[in-house]
Amino acid sequence: MRTQVGIIGAGPAGLLLSHLLHLRGISSVVLETRDREYVERRVRAGVLEQGTVDVLNEAGVGHRMRREGLPHHGIELRFGGAGHRIAFERLVPGRSITVYGQQEVVKDLIAARLAADGEVLFEVSDVVPDGFETDKPAISFTRADGERVRLDCDVIAGCDGFHGVSRPAIPPGVLSVFERDYPFAWLGVLAQVPPSAEELIYAQTDRGFALHSMRSPTISRFYLQVPPDEPVANWPDERIWAELRTRLETVPGFALTTGPIIEKSVTPMRSFVAEPMRCGRLYLAGDAAHIVPPTGAKGLNLAVADVRLLTEALAAWYATGSTDLLDGYSDTCLRRVWRAQHFSWWMTTLLHTFDSDDAYGRRLQRSYLDYVTSSDAAAATLAENYVGLPFEDVPADIPAVPPAFPEGHRP
């Protein structure tokens, strides 16, 4: 097989990259070890930054998002028996978030790729990226029917997540890794109940953090801070609802709507960055290169920022032969990644209980919560980072369709 860009991973990063490249006239093949049903049902983040919404709309895959997504113009910080709204429309005019599940984004992207005759190969196995330190990279893999295949390409994009094969394929000593584990996890709950509030509620309590979110007018999403090794079996439905009530029903007049729980899982909290996000002609994007705690809602949005930039860099390379954007890909991405790392860490430390015996730490936490909800300057910083910083400018005059290169020759 032969293509221009071989993409490992059919999550949001890999699928969006493939579609954006298609719009620029660049061919790609996406390889995914899971089956299509699993990929489309995998529940992950649901908060889309303004920039992510804009990219999906500009790529022509935002029709259903505009119809079914839930635009939000603020969030609530709840602590000390009161709720405090961070008003995006006042603090960052013209910018907001949209609640639309990651699995829905994936469904839209798969449909768009298949409608354009894009190659998305599910249920492949034994994926091995190779030759990326030369000008002849390739990916070997086994098809679902058992046939072993070699995919020759100009570039490999590793979009296969934290546990994928792309990052481990990079030789030892190339990457520097920065990471932090947190002393708690999130118990995530998907419930078939209408949301109890119109916007997300971030609740800080002495018993731990809680988040009220939503996926649709009939499906709600909740999170509870729990110990890092907590078994899901310890949380029957009745205990979950009781704890959510305790942590969320702290404001007069607020009542939590309860009902059937359709999914629950425990997710450890981690911060992770591997840099540079490139080795030769292998480029890492999304969770393959960086992980953030979900408190700041940045994971999916960082992946979109990565592949947006990688698309422009590849388009410039194919169209003009210039490697400037490709050479700057890692540094440019990492500026945004580290800003998101700091914001996610800050939100996490602001809202979670780290040590129940640390009275000094709790007073510091309360002091900053009071400050961020009483100072427009502090609230504007939170709002600006939450809705997403603007993308860095890239050249707007790159030709849409790259010229054909003679056989055996690439820039």
* 386 tagged catalytic: yes
Selecting among 107, 290, 298, 352, the annotated active-site residue is 298
Q: Is 264 a catalytic residue?
A: no
Residues 55 and 42: their CA atoms lie apart, in Å, by 22
The first and second tokens of residue 394, run together, are 């890239």
Catalytic-role residue among 100, 182, 202, 318: 202
The active-site residue, picked from 223, 283, 329, 386, is 386
Q: Is 388 left (phi over 0), alpha (psi -120 to 50) or beta?
A: left
Q: Is-catalytic flag, 72?
A: yes
CB 18 within 8 A of CB 112: no
Handedness of CA 17, 18, 20, 25 (dihedral sign): positive
Q: Which of 294, 329, 352, 402 is catalytic?
A: 294
Strands, DSSP E only, in 123-173? 125-130, 138-142, 148-152, 155-158
Query: What is the secondary structure of 154-202 as a DSSP string?
Result: SEEEE-S-TTSSHHHHSPTTS-EEEEEEEEEEEEEEEESS--SSSS-EE
The tokens for 375 are: 């100072």
C-alpha span between 109 and 52 (Å, rounded): 13
Distance, in Å, from the CA atom of 385 to the CA atom of 365, rounded to the nearest integer, reads 19
Annotated catalytic residue: which of 12, 19, 22, 72?
72
Per the annotation, the verdict on 294 as an active-site residue is: yes
Quote helix, strand, coil % in the chain, to nearest 5. Answer: 35, 25, 40
Helix and strand totals (H; E) in the chain: 13, 20
Residues forming the active site: 72, 202, 294, 298, 386
